[in-house]
């Protein structure tokens, strides 16, 4: 355990010298003169990651695992950015991000650990700022300023590097002083200055421009969801779904429907083998797998599915794991991890994207009166959804692999669904108060043919609700939705194209 000798002069602020190092550490706050000796406890740290050699995402995952084994416990992740190289420009594009965690390692011990990880992963002393499989930099170490022959913290070039500032702001944000839920206070003194520096560089307007793209790793690609809205086609392999139950129970019919939805423009196919309609009876994971796997095994073989994404709609970790092993690219969990305690660890282990949806209770209880009480539905949904995502992140699912879904139709009344559709910016803003990284996540909505549309439009039959679905999708996309989950792909894709064109025009005048 490190021992810090802390001397606090009145005029100079708090200074500390590590007994094991020549480093000089100074705390950010001034305090009265005193001399103390304390045993160091866990310190909050922020570490930047960069890679542009080999499988960049795999390099990130390996480095995170090695950090964990070495005593750095990751609590939060920034977004993932693909960036043009700086300083030495004739080299491949980088992936960049940053993570926030706690460690009992002293600052120079931590530096030694990170340098060993870099070396073990193949980094050499090549060209300064040149290609590298992994680059790990200590941006912050607790409340301390560190100046030694080998280490400077805060990192001295933070302020000039958008590819460092972007994920750093994801972790700190402009509301850090209000971040009481997770207890993160060590970097509060920096948040204002950093945010101002980020704004001077261009802030959020830089994203998508000048070689700084925010991306989500999915399948074999890095998805920049800001370019256009994506359409997810629904394939229900159930006898009792509210809209199309029983239509696609044979493998042949299911595969034919996948081909049809792809021909209509679907980029993602969401396969579900358990009904989540209100009052649906829950089936076992084994029965769900019996319905799902024969279809999935055939779907992955068809040429039309090449370049498309396959999602498994399940709240069972066993089903998720088996589906991923058979070719599914992401997991869509209506329970946000609430119905299977192993879901987060399974998804984290498979390193696939995870759709976390808001729901109270389960499908059989979600419409019970106690689950339909909200003071302000957008604020409450944002808060409860963030809690799910925070638990997922603490279990090892990085923020850069998470998609959020406010759960239209799940434990919501008609008026709640309407408030959510027009309140998507509010949901993002409320999540941003706790985590900017999570607030930047792709946002999925699924209003397709839901009961509230039938109530409003007097359309008791689900198949008659497609025009109302188009209207709700239009509202959602204009409000910031990035993925729409629908039964009727063609008509909703037309709506999405129009919305995207309108949003492009809005951005061109910004």
**Segments in 101-207 forming alpha helices (H):** 107-120, 162-172, 188-201
Neighbours of 107 (CB within 10 A): 24
Q: What is the pLDDT of residue 182?
A: 38
Using DSSP, state whether 405 is helix, strand or coil. strand
Selection from 78, 189, 196 nearest residue 144 by Cα: 189
* Contact predicate 491/471, CB 8 Å: no
* Relative orientation angle of helices 188-201 and 162-172, to the nearest 10 degrees: 140
Which H helix or E strand runs over 357?
A: strand 354-357
Distance separating alpha carbons of residues 351 and 115, to the nearest angstrom? 25
The pairing of beta strand 72-77 with beta strand 3-8 = unpaired
**E strand or H helix at 62, and its extent?**
helix 56-69
**Rounded distance between C-alpha atoms, residue 436 and residue 424, angstroms:** 15
Q: Which of 76, 308, 450, 465 is flagged as catalytic?
A: 450
The pLDDT score that the predictor gives to residue 466 is 97
Give dist(CA 479, CA 502) in Å, integer. Answer: 12
Six token digits for residue 412: 């919501």
Q: What is the pLDDT of residue 240?
A: 67
* Residues facing 38 on adjacent strands: 4
Per residue in 272-282, pLDDT (tens digit) is 999 888 878 89
For each of the chain's 510 residues, which pLDDT tens digit applies?
A: 444 433 333 333 334 444 344 445 554 443 333 333 334 578 999 999 999 999 999 999 999 999 999 999 999 999 999 999 887 778 899 999 999 999 999 999 999 999 999 999 998 876 676 688 999 999 999 888 898 999 999 887 788 889 999 999 999 875 443 343 333 444 544 555 778 888 888 888 899 876 899 999 998 899 999 889 999 999 999 886 666 666 788 999 999 999 999 999 999 999 999 988 887 889 999 999 999 999 999 999 999 999 999 999 999 999 999 999 999 999 999 999 999 999 999 999 999 999 999 999 999 999 999 999 999 999 999 999 999 999 999 999 999 999 999 999 999 999 999 999 999 999 999 999 999 999 999 999 999 999 999 999 999 999 999 999 999 999 999 999 999 999 999 999 999 999 999 999 988 876
Q: Which residues does 224 contact at the CB level (< 8 Å), separation at least 6? A: 82, 208, 213, 214, 215
Report which of 359, 444, 348 is spatially closest to residue 396, judged by C-alpha positions: 348
Res 489: pLDDT: 98
- 3-state class (DSSP) for residue 205: helix
Question: SS3 of 187, please?
Answer: coil
CA-CA distance, 52 to 55, in Å (whole number)?
Answer: 8
DSSP run (H or E) holding 312: strand 309-313
Catalytic-residue membership of 412:
no
Confidence (pLDDT) at 510: 67
Provide φ and ψ at 313, rounded to 5°.
-95, 100
Q: What is the pLDDT of residue 67?
A: 97
Two structure tokens written together for 315: 């709240």
Q: Taking Cα atoms as reference points, which of 398, 317, 391, 353 lies closest to residue 80? A: 398
**What whole-number distance in Å separates Cα of residue 424 and Cα of residue 7?**
50
Closest Cα to residue 21, out of 119, 154, 110?
Answer: 110
Q: What is the pLDDT of residues 371-394, one digit of tens each?
A: 999 999 999 999 999 999 999 999
295 and 259 in contact (C-beta within 8 Å)? Answer: no
Of 132, 214, 428, 485, which one is the catalytic site residue?
Answer: 485
Q: Does 115 participate in catalysis according to the annotation? A: no
pLDDT of amino acid 196: 81
List the domains of the chain with CATH numbers: 42-215 (3.30.70.560), 225-509 (3.20.20.20)
Question: Do residues 382 and 404 make contact, with C-beta atoms less than 8 angstroms apart?
Answer: no
């Amino acid at each position: 355990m490190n021992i810090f000798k802390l001397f606090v002069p009145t005029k100079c602020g708090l200074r500390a010298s590590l007994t094991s190092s020549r480093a000089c550490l100074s705390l950010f706050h001034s305090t009265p003169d005193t001399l103390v000796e304390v045993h160091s406890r866990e310190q909050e740290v922020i570490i930047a990651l960069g890679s542009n050699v080999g499988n960049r995402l795999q390099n990130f995952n390996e480095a995170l695992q090695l950090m964990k084994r070495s005593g750095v416990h990751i609590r939060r992740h920034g977004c993932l950015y693909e960036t043009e190289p700086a300083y030495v420009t004739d080299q491949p594009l980088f992936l960049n991000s940053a993570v926030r965690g706690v460690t009992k390692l002293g600052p120079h011990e931590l530096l030694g650990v990170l340098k060993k990880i870099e070396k073990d992963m193949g980094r050499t002393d090549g060209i300064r700022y040149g290609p590298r499989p992994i680059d790990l930099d200590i941006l912050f170490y607790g409340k301390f300023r560190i100046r030694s022959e080998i280490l400077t913290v805060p990192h001295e070039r933070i302020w000039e590097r958008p590819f460092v500032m972007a994920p750093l702001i994801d972790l700190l944000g402009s509301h850090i002083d209000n971040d009481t839920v997770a207890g993160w206070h060590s970097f509060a003194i920096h948040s204002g200055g950093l945010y101002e520096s980020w704004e001077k560089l261009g802030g959020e307007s830089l994203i998508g421009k000048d070689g700084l793209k925010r991306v989500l790793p999915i399948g074999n690609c890095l998805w920049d969801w800001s370019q256009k809205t994506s359409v997810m086609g629904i394939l229900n392999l159930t006898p009792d779904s509210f809209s199309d139950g029983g239509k696609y129970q044979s493998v042949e019919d299911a595969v034919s429907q996948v081909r049809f939805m792809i021909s209509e423009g679907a980029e993602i196919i969401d396969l579900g083998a358990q009904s989540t309609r209100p009052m649906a009876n829950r089936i076992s994971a084994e029965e769900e797998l019996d319905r799902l796997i024969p279809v999935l095994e055939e779907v992955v073989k068809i040429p039309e599915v090449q370049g498309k994404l396959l999602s498994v709609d399940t709240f069972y970790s066993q089903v998720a794991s088996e589906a991923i092993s058979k070719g599914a690219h992401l997991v869509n969990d209506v329970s946000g991890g609430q119905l299977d305690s192993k879901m987060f660890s399974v998804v984290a282990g498979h390193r696939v994207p995870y759709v976390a949806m808001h729901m109270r209770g389960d499908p059989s209880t979600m419409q019970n009166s106690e689950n339909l009480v909200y003071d302000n539905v957008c604020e409450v949904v944002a808060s409860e959804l963030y809690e799910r995502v925070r638990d997922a992140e603490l279990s090892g699912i990085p923020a850069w692999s998470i998609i959020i879904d406010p759960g239209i139709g799940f434990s919501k009344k008609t008026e709640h669904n309407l408030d959510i559709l027009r309140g998507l910016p509010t949901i993002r803003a409320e999540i941003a108060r706790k985590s900017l990284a999570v607030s930047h996540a792709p946002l999925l909505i699924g209003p397709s043919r839901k009961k509230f549309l039938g109530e409003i439009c007097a359309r008791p039959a689900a198949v008659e609700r497609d025009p109302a679905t188009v209207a709700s999708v239009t509202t959602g996309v204009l409000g910031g939705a990035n993925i729409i989950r629908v039964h009727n792909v063609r008509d909703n894709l037309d709506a999405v194209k129009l919305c995207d064109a309108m949003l492009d025009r809005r951005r061109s005048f910004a």
